[in-house]
Structure 1
Amino acid sequence: MSITGALSNAMQGLQAAGRGSEVIAANLSNVLTPGYGLRVLDLSSNATSSSGGVKVDGISRQVNESLIQDKRLAEAGNANASVIHSLYSTIENMIGAPDEPSSLTAQLATLETDLLTAASRPDAPERLSTAVASARNLANSFVKASNTLQDARSDADRTIGTQVDRLNSALVQVKALNTQITKSQVQGNLNHALLDQRQVLIDEISTLVPVRTIPRDNGQVALYSTGGVVLLDGSAAQVGFQRSNTITPYLTKENGALSGITVNGYPVTTKSDHGGLSGGSIAAQFAIRDDIAVNAQTQLDALARDLIVRFQDPAIDTTLGANDPGLFTDENAAFDPADEIGIAQRIAVNTAVDPQKGGEPWRLRDGISAAAPGDVGDGTLLNRLMDALKDGRPAASGMFSGGSYSAIDLTTTLTSHFGAKRNEAENSLSFSAAQVSELTERLLGDGVDSDQELQKLLLVEQAFAANARVIQTVDELMQTLLRI
């Protein structure tokens, strides 16, 4: 090999070492950067040179697209499971465990105990007042629970609006990045940073709506939901949704009072597992607004209905007429079977017995519609009211239809039902979280390995030193030749 060839080879080696150190530095500085793809320096032998040498072919970005896709779907499932688990936890806390003083079961038991205490001393006004207060607290708990459900539906509706806006924005950004990547690729420029940015955006989109990426020409990608809806293919789809200011038990998507979701003006379902936009965070919010919270309201209404009907029976309180409200009322009116929706939000203690509303507690002893106080020692009605709570009666609505339950049995059944639902949601969340964790670990293993990069850096330093030594040796040879 000639001196010129050796010098040329060394210079090429120094250039390759310099580029290699730049790539390694970029990798190490982006170990924790989301969406960052491992950069690798591509080298080959210099076939155009008679003396050989090394040629820098470029820098490639290495990612495991299959693993990335699996992780996106897992994260979408985890986001969906997390939202649903959160709601079931809220419902379970709202109803309360039987051993919690504020739970519906405990408050029913307290009312039963206070009625028993009042029946043992019907002449004691403070005992009557205590029983009325227990009934008021129980009614207020129903109202609070119903308000909690409607607040959850309203929050879900607002969240859907916010997430749909973000989805539209992200789709437009991916479209713009597609264009930039194509332009950069045609011009022969590196577009790795653009690819990283696009990956982060697609990850975000997939959390909202699970998507699959399909490669297109010139580095572009198309996005399809796992349900087959085209979100981006050349142009970005426009996802539509109309927010609602306030949500009440009467407002549902089924009766047309609440907005569904559209893609380019066409309605798309999010409800079933096979819907166009099923899975992900947006579908979970729809499940809360249109399914889970609505069902919970239905069961709560059934419980409130049973409580009202138990005490408006003229056979229990003979002072009541056929259409007179009893101890518990629908906003101080008797229960109307045609107006059960939202009854838990309207249940209240009869103002005739509630001293906070100008009523008289003695009516709990002598009858809601009694004209005047009766025998202060007669606890017959109080015993009947207590028995009304304990008697097994057929449930007229909700999931309880067909069975015979006491008031506490109904509440216990409801508590167990939503406890089981919460446990099921928790299991789903644990499974999806484990999937995400495992896939994340595997993806990190395929990404930047700081130990491996440091080992590469040592090799680069050795290569740099070796090529520098060659140049030094060539310089010494040239000096020797000049001295001859």
Structure 2
Amino acid sequence: MSISSALSNALSGLNVAARATDIVSSNIANAMTDGYGVRSLAISARVIGNGGAGAWVSGVIRHEDSILIGHRRRAEAETSFSMAQSQHLTRLEGLIGTPDAPGSLAARATAFEAAMISAAAGPQDQTRLGAAVGAAVDLATTINTIAAGIQGQRLQADGEIGRMVSRINTALESLAALNTRIRQDSGGGRDVSALLDAQARLVDDIAPLIPLESRRDATGALLLYSADGQALLDGRPAVLGFSPVTVMTAEMSRADGTLSGLTLNGRALPLDGTTPAFAGGELAAQFALRDQWAITAQAGIDAVARDLAARFDAPGFDPTLAPGQPGLFTDAGASVDPALEIGLAGRLRVNAAVLPAEGGAHWRLRDGLGATAPGPSGAAGFLHAQIDTLTALRATASGGFSATGRSFAGLVGDHLTAVGFARQAAEVDQAHGMARLHALRDEGLRQGVDTDAEMQRLLRIEQVFAANARVVSAAQEMIDQLIRMGA
């Protein structure tokens, strides 16, 4: 081997060692970076003519387990769905309140019944009558507050959908732009690992929102689909469409057109049925919250409000009222119509006939809501009748409750129990999903940058560098010696 060929081989080895050092330092520096793919060098023998001429870097290999990443992304979507459901039910349970919590629905119902019993024990005492009326107002206000909280959750979900759609559209545009750069750089023989990392981070950003499937075409460009087969990035990025609202009422729904659905490139997507679009991610969870879960919650509290009003609206229950006139609890001042039950909890009011601030009088709670003048101050018959109707066992007519007879307090308790059971079941699903997700993330970390292995690789690179440097030094000494001999 000539001195020049030995020197050429050594210099190529030094170049490879320098490039390998860059790769190792990049791996170590990004050990905790999300979306980073571990790099390694593809090294090939350099051949000039028929002889070896050292080594050269033929490319940079970016390592990733696409199957594991796909499982982890789908687990993130499923966990986001169950977490959204669990959070909704936890907030709903908080709105209703536990029986021992001041201001809870159960506490208000108990306080109202106790105030009525106190008023019946001293019907001549205007203070007790006023306290009973105040307890009725507190009960109605608590039901109103629960209904408002449910609609608040629906409005928040609607806003979240709008933000998620914007986030997905922006990410898809960025992914398409990166695809263009990847094609250009790959065609020019340049390293695209950093671009692939950027794409991985963008996909990870939208993976919790929509269950995804991905692959790459022959040019290295990313193709992205939802798990149900909707094309999100296939050449051109898809555009999702959604129109958020600024107010929310119980009567608003997607079916009647007052709430927006979801479109993909202008085409309406099915969000119900056996194969709903984007099922299983956080985006689907927000639609479910707005259009299903909160609707069910509203139906439950509406059923409680209807049961309460119906107990005081029974024909002949208050002989001072004409047929059709509202009892103690009204639908915004009118009699409760079962056909207009949706949203009743938000409209429930105490009859103005017993409210002095609205021209009524407390004594009507004792003498009848339609009474024109106070009756005997010691008469407690109507007060006892109202207590009896509260404790009477009645079949609940709506809200998904069973036909079992319940007192009003029993209905309130069953309502809270149903929400509590649903919340516990959702938390179990969330815990299972989180356990699976953590396991997949841990496996991904194990396949990520191993700093110990990288340091060992660095030691080997140092040895390679030293060996090639020694060859260069020896060649230099030989050339110097030849020059001296010639002199």
TM-score of the aligned structures, taking structure 1 as reference length: 0.95
Deviations 1:254-296 (A, max 9, x none): 2232221111222212345732221211111100110000111
In 1, Cα distance between equivalents of 2:150 and 2:343? 11
Residues 12, 30 of structure 1: CA spacing in aligned structure 2 closer, same or farther, 3 A cutoff?
same
Give 1:143 deviation, angstroms.
0.6
In 2, Cα distance between equivalents of 1:174 and 1:245? 31
Deviations 1:176-209 (A, max 9, x none): 2112111111111111111111111222232222
SS at match of 1:319: coil
SS at match of 2:268: strand
Q: Kindly indicate whether the alpha-carbon contact (under 8 Å) linking 1:268 and 1:277 is maintained by their aligned counterparts in 2.
A: no
SS at match of 1:352: helix
SS at match of 1:398: coil
SS at match of 1:219: coil
Match of 1:38 in 2: 38
Q: Kindly indicate whether the alpha-carbon contact (under 8 Å) linking 2:119 and 2:129 is maintained by their aligned counterparts in 1.
A: yes
Higher alpha-carbon deviation: 41-50 or 341-350: 41-50
Give 1:46 deviation, angstroms.
3.4
Deviations 1:438-477 (A, max 9, x none): 1111112112122221221122122222222232233334
Matching of residues 350-429 of structure 1 within 5 Å: 350-400=351-401, 402-429=403-430
Residues 479, 204 of structure 1: CA spacing in aligned structure 2 closer, same or farther, 3 A cutoff?
same
In 1, Cα distance between equivalents of 2:164 and 2:140? 36
Give 1:361 deviation, angstroms.
1.3
Give 1:47 deviation, angstroms.
4.2
Matched, 1:26 2:33: no
Match of 1:475 in 2: 476
Aligned residues: 484
Match of 1:4 in 2: 4
Deviations 1:118-146 (A, max 9, x none): 11111221111111111111100111111
In 1, Cα distance between equivalents of 2:227 and 2:357? 57
In 1, Cα distance between equivalents of 2:312 and 2:415? 21
Matching of residues 122-137 of structure 1 within 5 Å: 122-137=123-138
Q: Kindly indicate whether the alpha-carbon contact (under 8 Å) linking 1:261 and 1:267 is maintained by their aligned counterparts in 2.
A: yes
Match of 1:333 in 2: 334
Match of 1:246 in 2: 247
In 2, Cα distance between equivalents of 1:155 and 1:399? 25
In 2, Cα distance between equivalents of 1:281 and 1:271? 15
SS at match of 1:227: coil
SS at match of 2:36: coil
Match of 1:150 in 2: 151
Q: Which amino acid aligns with 2:77?
A: A
Q: Which amino acid aligns with 1:248?
A: T
Q: Kindly indicate whether the alpha-carbon contact (under 8 Å) linking 1:154 and 1:246 is maintained by their aligned counterparts in 2.
A: yes
Matched, 1:305 2:299: no
In 2, Cα distance between equivalents of 1:327 and 1:107? 16
Give 1:51 deviation, angstroms.
5.5
TM-score of the aligned structures, taking structure 2 as reference length: 0.95
SS at match of 2:207: helix
Q: Which amino acid aligns with 1:83?
A: A
Residues 273, 45 of structure 1: CA spacing in aligned structure 2 closer, same or farther, 3 A cutoff?
farther
Deviations 1:137-165 (A, max 9, x none): 11001111111111111111121112112
Q: Kindly indicate whether the alpha-carbon contact (under 8 Å) linking 2:45 and 2:52 is maintained by their aligned counterparts in 1.
A: no
Match of 1:182 in 2: 183
SS at match of 1:345: helix
In 2, Cα distance between equivalents of 1:380 and 1:270? 55
In 2, Cα distance between equivalents of 1:74 and 1:271? 22
Residues 213, 51 of structure 1: CA spacing in aligned structure 2 closer, same or farther, 3 A cutoff?
closer
SS at match of 1:195: helix
Match of 2:140 in 1: 139
Matching of residues 289-304 of structure 1 within 5 Å: 289-304=290-305
Matched, 1:266 2:261: no
Q: Kindly indicate whether the alpha-carbon contact (under 8 Å) linking 1:272 and 1:278 is maintained by their aligned counterparts in 2.
A: no
Matched, 1:255 2:256: yes
In 2, Cα distance between equivalents of 1:356 and 1:140? 16
Q: Which amino acid aligns with 1:313?
A: A
In 1, Cα distance between equivalents of 2:58 and 2:327? 87
Match of 1:454 in 2: 455
In 2, Cα distance between equivalents of 1:452 and 1:187? 32
Q: Which amino acid aligns with 1:357?
A: E
In 1, Cα distance between equivalents of 2:371 and 2:172? 68
Q: Kindly indicate whether the alpha-carbon contact (under 8 Å) linking 1:332 and 1:351 is maintained by their aligned counterparts in 2.
A: yes
Q: Kindly indicate whether the alpha-carbon contact (under 8 Å) linking 1:269 and 1:277 is maintained by their aligned counterparts in 2.
A: no
Deviations 1:388-435 (A, max 9, x none): 111001212111252211111111111111111111111121122222
Q: Kindly indicate whether the alpha-carbon contact (under 8 Å) linking 1:271 and 1:287 is maintained by their aligned counterparts in 2.
A: no
In 2, Cα distance between equivalents of 1:249 and 1:401? 23
